[in-house]
Amino acid sequence: MKSRYLIILGLLSNTLSAVIAILRLNRMTKIGFSILIPILMLAIFADYIAPYSPYEQVGPPFSPPSSKYLLGTNDLGQDILSEVIYGARISLLVGLIVALVSVSIGTVVGVISGYFGGVVDEILMRLTDALLSIPALLFVIFLMSLIMRIGGYVSFYSTAIVIGLILWPGIARLVRSRVLSIRESLYIESAIAVGASTSRIIFKHILPNTVSTIIPVAVMHIARAILIEATLSFLGLGDPTVESWGTILHYAFERNAIILGMWWWFIPPIVLITLLTFSIYLIGIGLEEYYNPRLRSNIRQV
């Protein structure tokens, strides 16, 4: 058990080293982090940055931007700027939960399928292919609609878990292909020959060598999850008790913000969703260039 914790710490250390190296070498990743960090600060320190509680009426409904309400108020008199600031926390949290769920399931399925092969591989890959053939967004919308019809309410945690349960097949495919190549390596054959256990081979030799495959995809999944969550909330399938950017857009369009010319209600969340996903994609591209030897030659010195 102790050795597994050491392996996990080693993976985290290698990831941090990779991020530092990428920041030194890749211009696009620097841009990505320069956009991400301010939004991350909004999410972490929302309680101190937001001028009001996003859940309380603080002024007259439909107030335009002013010195007191920088982005005006919504139909309930809630401060829109405070809603937008707290929305960063929900969007990032959903993205991280989705990445954790999808990467965990995809890695387990990919490692088991690639290492054991045979019937196990055939069953798991057919299941993976079946899920890959279904459009992820439509499948998530269907499941969330079904959950709401049965239970009547969904939390943003359940939303994140459902999204994660849909997005794992792509990771499983990538991890499996990587494990298949690692399994044929001489050091794996040597470990088997000296009697190393299956768990030791997987945790000590295979998993550390799949990091280059997992991390870039996991980062991309965060951006994808943020977009899916915003879409679900915009359609009214998200958690109505939390302030997410998608929820803000849902109520803005439902209350005819465009017709009323209330640009301050719907433009800020749209801009922030775009900037956040764009920054994460830039970071993901930088990670992929760093880990992929064929792409590393494209990294330009700043």
User: Residue 185 to residues 128, 178, 194: CA-CA distances in angstroms?
Assistant: 25, 11, 15
Mean pLDDT for the stretch of residues 286-298 = 65
pLDDT band at 302 (very low <50, low <70, confident <90, very high): very low
Taking only the tens place, the pLDDT of each residue in 52-81 is: 888 888 888 888 888 888 888 888 888 999
DSSP 164-216: HHHHHHHHHHHHHHHHHHHHTSHHHHHHHHTT--HHHIIIIIIGGGGHHHHHH
pLDDT: is 77 or 186 the higher one? 77
Task: State the pLDDT at residue 16.
Answer: 62
pLDDT at 15 over 80: no
Cβ contact 109:172 at 8 Å: yes
Average the pLDDT over each of 140-144, 209-213, 246-250 and give the range with the smallest value.
209-213
User: Residue 168 to residues 131, 160, 216, 235: CA-CA distances in angstroms?
Assistant: 9, 13, 14, 23
pLDDT at 91 over 80: yes
How far apart are alpha carbons 90 and 72 in whole angstroms?
A: 21
How far apart are alpha carbons 196 and 13 in whole angstroms?
A: 26
Average the pLDDT over each of 21-30, 63-72, 82-91, 98-107 and give the range with the smallest value.
21-30
Local structure of residue 152 (DSSP, 8 states)? S
Q: Structure tokens of 280?
A: 């994460």
pLDDT at 274 over 90: yes
How far apart are alpha carbons 94 and 225 in whole angstroms?
A: 7
Domains (range + CATH), the chain: 2-42+90-296 (1.10.3720.10)
3-state helix, strand, coil in the chain (%, to 5): 75, 0, 25
pLDDT at 9 over 60: no
